Amino acid sequence: MNTDWMSRTIAEVDPDVATALENERLRQNNNLEMIASENFVSQAVLTAAGSIMTNKYAEGYPGRRYYGGCEQYDIVENLARDRARELFGAEHANVQPHSGAQANMAVLMAMVKPGSTILGLDLSHGGHLTHGHPLNYSGKSFNVVPYGVKKDTERIDYESIAALAAEHKPRLIICGASAYPRTIDFERIGQIARENDALVLADIAHIAGLVVAGLHPSPVPHCDFVTTTTHKTLRGPRGGLILCREAFAKDVDRALFPGVQGGPLMHAVAAKAVAFREALEPRFAEYQKQVLLNAAALADALVGLGWRLVSGGTENHLVLLDVFSKGVTGKVAEKALERASITVNKNTIPFDTQPPLVASGIRLGTPALTTRGMDEDDMRAIAGFIDRVLSAPGDDSVAAAVRADVEALCARYPLYL
Binding site for ligand DSN (CB under 6 A): 37, 100, 128, 178
196, 199, 201, 202: CA torsion to nearest 10:
50
Is 179 or 299 the residue whose CB approaches ligand DSN more closely? 179
Query: What is the distance of C-alpha 180 from the center of its chain?
Result: 12
Residue 213 neighbours by CB under 8 Å, 6+ apart = 284, 285, 287, 288, 289
- How far is the C-alpha of 49 from the C-alpha of 109, rounded, in Å? 28
Is 147 designated active site? no
Is 117 or 136 the residue whose CB approaches ligand DSN more closely? 136
Is 232 designated active site? yes
- How far is the C-alpha of 190 from the C-alpha of 173, rounded, in Å? 9
**Active site residue: 47, 57, 158, 326, which one?**
57
Least Cα distance to 35 among 318, 336, 284 occurs for 318
CB atoms within 10 A of CB 153: 12
Query: C-beta of 99: minimal distance to ligand DSN in Å?
Result: 8
Is 255 or 320 the residue whose CB approaches ligand DSN more closely? 320
Is 27 designated active site? no
Is 315 designated active site? no
Least Cα distance to 287 among 359, 394, 366 occurs for 366
**Active site residue: 83, 232, 346, 403, which one?**
232
Instruction: Kindly calculate the radius of gyration of the chain based on its CA atoms and give it in whole angstroms.
Output: 22
Query: C-beta of 36: minimal distance to ligand DSN in Å?
Result: 7
Which secondary structure element, helix H or strand E, spans residue 287, and what is its range?
helix 282-304
Is 229 designated active site? yes
Cβ distance 193 to 180 under 8 Å?
no
Query: C-beta of 343: minimal distance to ligand DSN in Å?
Result: 12
Is 128 or 235 the residue whose CB approaches ligand DSN more closely? 128
- Strand, helix or coil at 397? helix
Least Cα distance to 384 among 342, 331, 350, 413 occurs for 342
Is 100 or 139 the residue whose CB approaches ligand DSN more closely? 100
Is 177 or 256 the residue whose CB approaches ligand DSN more closely? 177
- How far is the C-alpha of 87 from the C-alpha of 92, rounded, in Å? 12
Give whole-number Cα distances, 362 to 18, 271, 336, 392, in Å. 32, 31, 12, 16
Query: C-beta of 232: minimal distance to ligand DSN in Å?
Result: 7
391 burial type by CB count under 10 A (0-12 exposed, 13-18 middle, 19+ buried): middle
Is 334 designated active site? no
Query: C-beta of 373: minimal distance to ligand DSN in Å?
Result: 23
**Active site residue: 238, 272, 346, 372, which one?**
238
Residue with CB nearest ligand DSN?
37
Query: C-beta of 100: minimal distance to ligand DSN in Å?
Result: 6
Query: C-beta of 182: minimal distance to ligand DSN in Å?
Result: 16
CB atoms within 10 A of CB 180: 26
Question: Which residues are bridge partners to 172 per DSSP?
Answer: 118, 199
**Active site residue: 38, 59, 405, 407, which one?**
59
**Active site residue: 33, 77, 157, 203, which one?**
203
Is 60 or 240 the residue whose CB approaches ligand DSN more closely? 240
Active-site residues, by number, are 57, 59, 203, 229, 232, 238
